[in-house]
Amino acid sequence: MKKLVVAREELERIIKLCENIERRGLDPFTVNVRELLERLRRMVEENPDLDHYVIDAETLYRISALIALQHKWLREKAKALFIDAQMISTRLVAMDKKALVKAFLKAWHPIISLEQMTPQRLRQGLEHFLSLPPRGGGREFGWKITDKEIELIKAKLELEEKAMMEKVKALHHELLRRFEERGEPLDYWEFIKGESFDETFERAYLLSFLITEGYVDVKRNPLKNELKLIPHREQVKRKSPTSLVISLRGEAG
Amino acid sequence: MSGEESFSRRLMIAATMLLFKSHRRPGVRGWELKHRLGKNYMRVIDALNSKLKQLGLEIKTVFEEGEENNLDRARFYVVLSHPLTMSDLVAAGWRIDEVAALSITLSILSSRGGKVPLRDVLEVLKTKFPKWKAESYLERAIKRGYIERLEDDVLTIGWRTKVEVEQKALLKAVLEAREEKEIRSD
């Protein structure tokens, strides 16, 4: 029994060592993989029971991940022309700020991109504008938005928001109805599918609000590559929410 | 609409999609371009690229890790094709200190396989800046997407570095910069 506990502790140590190297980006070649595998084989032969096999499989998986990391490490090193990291650090310390910037500029090709207006951004802008305190003596420069114009813009934005909320509500009712008819969770892709890609996209977009707000739960089965929807009549508070990215391809729908 | 007209219209759509940010991050996925421009979207992208090159810009394709041949999943960006000068940098609102800190951080990350404990980077940064300044530059680099902070205070290369920085060229430039200095002192 004691022997088994010792072997288990040793395997856990190996797992921890592999995990640590992977997580902290340490040099994976500091570990002798052959020696680890030999130790593992010896332990498996000495402890032929199910419990031990489970942890043994986990250790073997970690060692395989470490070998994959060694492969990646070598590839990265080759990409970096096998330049010694210590040499780079020493040079960085010796260089002055201007030389560092000049070196960076030789390798830097910044992205060119412009922000564009969306209804959401416009609403944020309007809300910010309306929250500003009035300036003493009125505005001297620039144009003035009249109260009537502000009311008009506000009404238009409210109308758009209302229309959107109604669509979300309708989708929620549809989901609840189909769920009750079937009596089982609904397939995500089947549910969002519309007559055109645009409709599919819109349904997926609206559904994401219901999921975020807690009206719909998504169950993912990575083995079957399935996504199932479970709707709720009332909002459900989640203890530990996570993000799920679902990409829609253009040819779908 | 003639074929030529339709092609130039598709060029305009591609330019708008690539130059205007429509997601949280800049860049457009290949499948988005395919949806708007059709199956032969790479022909449009190539044509646009040659036009942009005349303006000192170019289209850069960044593949997802492990999917080096999948154009549909790749992201397309417009980047500057020529290097900026020091005065361009200052005019664009960047601080020399901040870029120097970024240069140090990315050089360390590139030379060590893309993952380094925060404390190792701070150790080098502290030789140039006070600790609080070094930390604030790192925070800014994280916010801008040049680096990412993982659990256990480990830094890794961010999405923006993969798009904007030629890591090999950066390491080469760091090595050459020292040599230039040595030659001058001789």
Confidence of residue B74 (pLDDT cuts 50, 70, 90): very high
pLDDT band (50, 70, 90) for residue A152 = confident
Residue found by looking up tokens 């910044």 in the block: A110
**What pLDDT score does B186 carry?**
43
Q: What does the alpha-carbon distance between residue B117 and residue B14 come to, in Å, rounded to a whole number?
A: 40
Contact A186, A227 (CB under 8 A): no
Contact in structure between B155 and B161 (CB atoms under 8 Å): no
Compute the average pLDDT of residues B77-97. Answer: 91
Closest by Cα among B64, B92, B73, B77 to B34: B73
Q: Is residue B164 a contact partner of residue A108, using CB atoms and an 8 Å limit?
A: yes
Choose the closest CB to B154 out of A23, A81, A110. Answer: A23
* pTM of the full structure: 0.57
Indicate whether A252 pLDDT > 50. no
- At residue A2, φ and ψ (nearest 5 deg) are -65, -40
Contacts of B100 in chain A (CB under 8 A): 97-98, 100-101, 104
* Beta-carbon separation of B173 and A93 below 8 A: no
Predicted confidence at residue B130, as pLDDT, reads 93
Residue of B nearest to A92 (CA): B104
User: Above 70 in pLDDT, residue B86?
Assistant: yes
ipTM above 0.85 for this complex? yes
pLDDT at A243: 75
The pLDDT mean for chain B works out to 88
Confidence band of A128 (pLDDT split at 50, 70, 90):
confident
Tell me whether residue B77 is exposed, middle or buried, using C-beta atoms within 10 angstroms of its C-beta: 0 to 12, 13 to 18, 19 or more. buried
Give the angle subtended at the CA of B149 by the CAs of B94 and A239, to the nearest 5°: 125
Q: State the average pLDDT over residues A7-21.
A: 81
Confidence of residue B125 (pLDDT cuts 50, 70, 90): very high
Strand B20-21 and strand A114-115: the pairing is parallel
Reduced to 3 states (helix: H, G, I; strand: E, B; else coil), residue B21 is: strand
Residues written for chain A: 253
Q: Where residue A234 falls among pLDDT bands split at 50, 70, 90?
A: confident
Determine contact: B111 vs chain A, CB below 8 A.
yes
pLDDT at A45: 81
As a whole number of angstroms, the distance between CA B138 and CA B125 comes to 10
Chain B residues near residue A198 by CB distance under 8 angstroms: none
Q: Which of residues 2-61 of B touch A (CB under 8 A)?
A: 19-22, 26-27, 29, 31-32, 34-35, 57-58, 60
Q: Please name the residue ranges forming H helices in B39-185.
A: 41-53, 86-91, 96-111, 118-125, 131-144, 159-164, 167-185
Residues 102-121 of A with CB under 8 A from B: 102-116
Contact across the interface for B34 and A108, Cβ inside 8 Å: no
Q: Which of A84, A100, A120, A243 to mutate to test the interface with B (most CBs of B within 10 A)?
A: A100
| pLDDT tens column, A28-68 | 888 888 888 888 888 888 877 777 777 788 888 888 888 88
Q: Does B99 touch chain A if contact means CB atoms closer than 8 Å?
A: yes
User: Could you read off the pLDDT of A198-207 as tens digits, one per residue?
Assistant: 888 889 988 9
